[in-house]
Amino acid sequence: MNTPVIGQPLGRVEGPAKVQGHAQYAADFNQPHQAYAVIVTSSVGLGRITRIDDAVLDMPGMIALISYRNAPRLPYNPHKGGIDPAAGERLHVLQDDRVHFYGQPVAIVVAKTLDQAERAAAAVRITYEKSEPVIELRDSLARAVIPEVGRRPGRLQADKARGDADGALVKAPRAVDVTYEMARENHNPIEPHATVASWNGDRLTVWSKSQFVVNEQQELAAIFGMKPEDVQVICPFIGGAFGTSLRTWPHVTLAAIAAKHVARPVKLVLTRRQMFFATGGRPRTIQRVALGATEEGRLLSLTHEGTGETSRYEQFIEALTAVSQFMYSCQNAQTRYRIVPLDTSTPNHMRGPGEASGIYALECAMDELAYLLRLDPVELRRRNEPTLDESENRPFSSRALTKCFEQAGARFGWSRRNPIPRSMRDGRLLIGWGTAAATYPAIQSPASARARLYADGSADVEAAASDMGPGTYTSMTQVAADALGLSVERVRFRLGRSDFPPTPPHGGSQTMASVGSAVRAACLSAREKAGEAASENGGSFVEATASVARDPAIAQKYSTHAFGAVFVEVSVDPDLGIVRVRRVVGAYDVGRVVNPRLARSQCIGGIVGGIGMALMERTVLDPRDGRPVNAHLADYLVPVNLDIQDLEALFIESDDPYVNPLGVKGLGEIALIGVAPAIANAVFHATGLRVRSLPIRVEDLLHEPEQVQSAGA
């Protein structure tokens, strides 16, 4: 086969299975004699259980009511898995009478049918000794602490500085010093969390929604005190996740507990409301950005301070301030990151974790500085383009951010922008144009894959990866076919089983870089073995397993990141304050693109998520007990088809020989990262109102703007 497979816009190889209903998601794996479990959640935000009424055991179909009173005492052996918070201890479910947050699982009802289980769960009566929870970040800033992991050097280092940022800020001819806030968000994928658990003696099998099946296997083994090989996790398809299924949440353990207790398979599916309680979410953040510059727009000082929420029992941290350490050239820069322990469940990685929140503050501040200087926002960024990563004093493996701005700006028509706020109109509607940069680290983690090449010219390739929608089945098939010299029709790629060769989590934009590199290596090895076997008239197939990791020498020498530039047009109704995103153009420096069709789909999805972050998504907690008051898709707003108009993604030609053997930088996160600040900046251009909190709401825009200056006038 001479035509390269990598780079072709192929359709999804798993598409027919999905549209024909053959693709099985976690809740589809029904087992013989299966029972149904429903979680009973706490109705208080902090306290202790004093009484559980077990009268529901007399209700029709009831099999068991399991609580801390009769649940097994589990060892909960230490396990972090590289995805759980490094500091603190995960929730030990049904192990004591303590309630740490509203919605915590406090009991399980098991019944013969789902309807019977739901009715019984609603009838369970629990009495509590209540305490007053602390759940508001702004009211608790005095309790902020340095995260334990942040005390060490690295990407998540809490305090990092070069030069004298404070002194340079005071002396700077021009400066902005502003605070930005971002609401708590929940992932809300269409497929809810679900687990089907079945015991066979001392062996456990779970069919579970997971972005990290190897970690789920190891976590369950640690919780139950088992050997990992006695736990099997199966997850061939995921119906969206955005990070919410990276961790093994308590419901997985509860399904296994229930199945063991009733000695039969058990299915447990979370409700939409329960997914707001105990499966994480993007943490609420408050950030301060101070920028000092010359009259010509050269940065003299950069300060970025960020505070995020976490639970009291774990320290969730993210790269909230990391981008500001290298994004722009500035000799005097400092970042500071703190977390506030609250009586809530632990937050979790949500698409673009840390970078999406942090770059919102940085890029809005850059826009504010551009207007203060009367300088085009793109030109301000160009004047502060670094020649190397100044935080690490090492070169970028590649960086085409300027090209991203040039190509996306040309496609968008940025040169036609009138820089004066409130100057552009479409009839009675105010029109605003805004822009922002984006970046995300190009991660490659150790990964393994196995390839079998058969005498008939077909191949099977396996890895314990996941596919939550980006097209892992298809892109890995392309990589394998390219390495084997076969057509994609002759290659079968399988994933989603913990007994396949181990891979890192399906998150962090690392799947293609990590798993793809392992697949390539395994296929090249199998092809070489096949050649040797053919010369020796060998057997019917050859098999090769390969493990690949980034060369540490290269990792220490280069700073590896993907980059992007986003341009947005919004319309704002001046009487009603309603914001509509009319069009978005994004250009992305993501290295080699394995499948442009899938890549564009990823970008469109990320942009849609960014629109939600900017204008809609906000989880609201009742200050009395921490109850999410909008834990449903009627009041937790997300973009729908009517909100989406013209979205376009461009890919910058980029050759990066250092990131990994495939030359890919990762694509899952970056398309969301710059969207929210670009929208916020466009809203300011349209209205003259600088809204410094997300989401931007109608009520934020129903007052007169302050006197503003133009950028680039």
Catalytic residues: 669
Q: Find residue 430's DSSP bridge partners.
A: 425, 572
d(CA 241, CA 194) in angstroms, rounded, equals 12
The HSE-up count of residue 61 (CA atoms within 13 Å, CB side) is 17
Backbone φ and ψ of 73, nearest 5° = -80, 110
d(CA 102, CA 621) in angstroms, rounded, equals 10
- Asked whether the bond before 695 is cis by omega within 30 degrees of 0, the reply is yes
Angle 370-389-325 from CA coordinates, rounded to 5°: 60
Q: Centre a 10 Å sphere on the Cβ of residue 53 and count the other Cβ atoms it contains.
A: 12
How far does CA 589 lie from the centroid of its chain? 19
Structure tokens belonging to residue 602: 């990823």
Structure tokens belonging to residue 375: 């300088």
Q: Find residue 492's DSSP bridge partners.
A: 460
The greatest distance separating any two alpha carbons of the chain, rounded to the nearest whole angstrom, comes to 83
Q: Choose among 550, 551, 594, 547: nearest CA to 449.
A: 547
Rg over CA atoms, the chain: 26
Structure tokens belonging to residue 310: 């976490």
Q: Choose among 196, 185, 205, 83: nearest CA to 506.
A: 83
Q: Are strands 447-454 and 541-548 parallel, antiparallel or unpaired?
A: antiparallel
How far does CA 258 lie from the centroid of its chain? 30
Residues near 149 by Cβ (< 8 Å), separated by ≥ 6? 86, 87, 156, 315, 317
Q: Are strands 203-208 and 194-200 parallel, antiparallel or unpaired?
A: antiparallel
Q: Centre a 10 Å sphere on the Cβ of residue 178 and count the other Cβ atoms it contains.
A: 16
d(CA 249, CA 245) in angstroms, rounded, equals 8
- Among positive and negative, which fits the CA dihedral 339, 343, 346, 350? negative
User: CA separation (Å) from 259 to 109, 637, 701?
Assistant: 11, 36, 53
d(CA 352, CA 493) in angstroms, rounded, equals 27
Encode burial over 81-104: b for 16+ CB neighbours within 10 A, e otherwise.
bebbbebbebbbbbeebbbbbbbb
Three-state SS for 674?
coil
> Tell me, what DSSP letter sits at residue 136?
-
d(CA 366, CA 592) in angstroms, rounded, equals 30
The contacts found for 155-160 with CB under 8 angstroms, 24 or more apart, are 155/319, 155/322, 155/441, 156/317, 156/318, 156/319, 156/322, 156/337, 158/336, 158/337, 158/338, 159/334, 159/335, 159/336, 159/337, 160/321, 160/325, 160/334, 160/335, 160/391
**Exposed (0-12), middle (13-18) or buried (19+): which is 8, by Cβ within 10 Å?**
middle
Query: What's the distance, Cα to Cα, between the start and end of the chain in Å?
Result: 57
